[in-house]
Structures are given as structure tokens and as C-alpha cells.
Amino acid sequence: MKISVVGSGYVGLATGACLADVGHIVTCVDNNKDKIDMLNRGEMPIFEKGLKELVINNVEDDRLFFTTDIKKATENAQVIFIAVGTPPDEDGSADLQYVLAVAKDIGTYMNDYKVVVDKSTVPVGTADLVESTISKVLKERQADYEFDVVSNPEFLKEGVALADFMKPDRVVIGAESDRAKKLMHEVYSAFTFQHDRIIFMGIRSAEMTKYAANARSSWEVANCSTVGLIINSLSINPTFTPAIGPWNGISEMLNAAEAPIIPNISGEFSLSYESTVTTTCTSFLKPSGKRGLRGLSINRAARVAVVEGLASRLKKPPGILPAAYIFSTKSTMRGK
């Protein structure tokens, strides 16, 4: 199948490389010419274990291509993934301008039936906006092409993104038409042939699933942090943890802070300087390359939740702040 992935960042590049590796013909598109030139030279703009080799192998086998030509990528693809950034706006909401700009381009260059897939982490209802944007452009063109918009959230963890994609525990697809469902099943069939882990649901349900999963990950990290603080405050060496699950990396996570953290028995801590709040919490959740509670990697969604939550809510140096509180933000957590 011919597939285009618009956006060659962390999610887009991993998605494109993995889809190409199972036989699809994939074109990765980005408006950053320097990034595309870098990828065509076999250089990676991000680090992910095994990604460079995967990209180079599939480029050499003529299954993976990189371009800035959105027109050609749209015309040649049956399925188009939107994997561009959705940075937080000034009010903390997701900025959808890049997603909608891609939707406009797709409407401009569409020449046949397409399945348009929201892969970016987007608020509930974004698929409706993408659909209306494409429909508006088609109407202006006086073109009558059919298309479906699908939600397919990603659940990739930094450091193990390729393994997560190649051996998913679930593939969530929000689609309405049988035609779109059939094509999406074909896209992912190679990853789930031993156990069909594709879960079809409504489009809005799929969009909500991503935020619910991010919230759960953040809660688990917060819970892990709190228990780790209690262990430290009681001077307990967590060697008992095999009885309840792996805790690899917790000590590194707790000791990585760059500003003073004062734990107490309730799992709260105090941060000494407002100017170091962001760097403290970023490093507090810095990935150690190991797995945390129940195999959880400390992923980007959790770090974003901390940084954005503190940056938007703390107006003065905090006193004692419950660990769970800083993981409670508006819907701005992203896993890209």
C-alpha cells in the first residue's frame, strides 16, 4: 500500500520507518528542507535505538522516501497520516494550526479517495475540524472526491518506540466507514497477524483514548514518585520490590533533580527556587533508559504534564506541593 506521513518528527519518522519495514511504500513529508536533506543523507534528526539502521535499509530497498513535496505525496497515497506537532497555545490548549494546514493541503491536492489519519495527539473533535477543512477546500475546487478521516493515536515510548510500534499491545482506530476500516486493517495487519490487537471504535472515542492513556501514564509516574519518596524518607532499600513488580530506574529518577527536593512521609516535596522549577521537574522525570513501575518508561507525556502544569499554575515559589498535584493539568499532555 502507498502511504504518506506528513511530519517527520519523533512520531512521524518512527511510523514511516516501521510501516515501510513491513512492505508498504511510504513517503515521509516535511516542510523543513534541512531535515529532509538530512534524512536523505542517512542522518537522523532524533535518536531512537535502531531507527537509523531501519531508515537506511528501507531507503535502500526503495520502500521509504523523504520529500518536501506535499502535492506529490498526497496524490500518490491511499492513506495519509498527519503526524505534525500540536504545541500548547497561550491558554494551554493544543494548537491545531499545523494539523489544519495539512488538512487544507490534502484538500487542495486530493485526486481520489483517501483515508486521512490523525496520528498527532489532538483534542476530542479534531477529526471533525479536519473533515470540515478538507470538505471546504474541495467545495472551493468544485471537486467531488470521497474521503474518510480516521483517528489512530500513538502509544510510543521514547527509547523503545520501534519495539512499541512493531509489537503493539493494542492498535486503536477510530473510524466510521467500513471502507476506511478495511484499509486501516490492511495498514496494520503485518503487526498483528499473530494476535489481532486492532481495536475499532468511534472517532471521538479514539481521540479520548489517547488523553485517557496519557493521564494514566502520568498518574502511574506520580504514584511511582510518591512511593519512591516514602521509601527514601524511611531509609528503606527497595530490594523488596520484586514481590510487587520491577522498580528499575526509580532511584536514578529521584536523585536526578538539579534543585533541592525535600521529601517527607506523605510523599510531598518542596522546591526551593521558582527559577529552577521547570528544570528541576524536567530532570526529576528524566528518562534513565530503564523501565519504571510495571515496565513503565518515563515518557514525554509525563514530562510535558509536569513542565506545563507548573509553568502555567505556579506564580510564586511553591511551598510543599503534593506530588500528585503537578501531574494534574488541562488537556495539554502529549506523547509525541
Give the model confidence (pLDDT) of 206-261 as tens digits. Answer: 888 887 777 766 666 666 666 666 666 666 555 444 444 444 433 333 333 333 33
Average pLDDT, the chain: 74
Residues making up the chain, counted from first to last: 336
- Bridge partners of 229? none
pTM above 0.85, yes or no: no
86: pLDDT strictly greater than 50: yes
Report the C-alpha gap between 184 and 322 in whole angstroms. 43
pLDDT, tens digit, for every residue of 51-76?
A: 999 999 999 999 999 999 999 999 99
Q: Which helix (H) or strand (E) holds 102?
A: helix 97-109
Question: Among the ranges 185-189, 230-234, 312-316, which has the highest mean pLDDT value?
Answer: 185-189
Residues 6+ apart with CB under 8 A from 215: 333
Percentage of the chain modeled with pLDDT above 70:
63
List the beta strands (DSSP E) in 7-157.
25-29, 64-67, 79-82, 114-118, 147-151
pLDDT, tens digit, for every residue of 113-162?
A: 999 999 988 888 899 999 999 999 999 999 999 999 999 998 888 788 89
pLDDT, tens digit, for every residue of 33-48?
A: 999 999 999 999 988 8
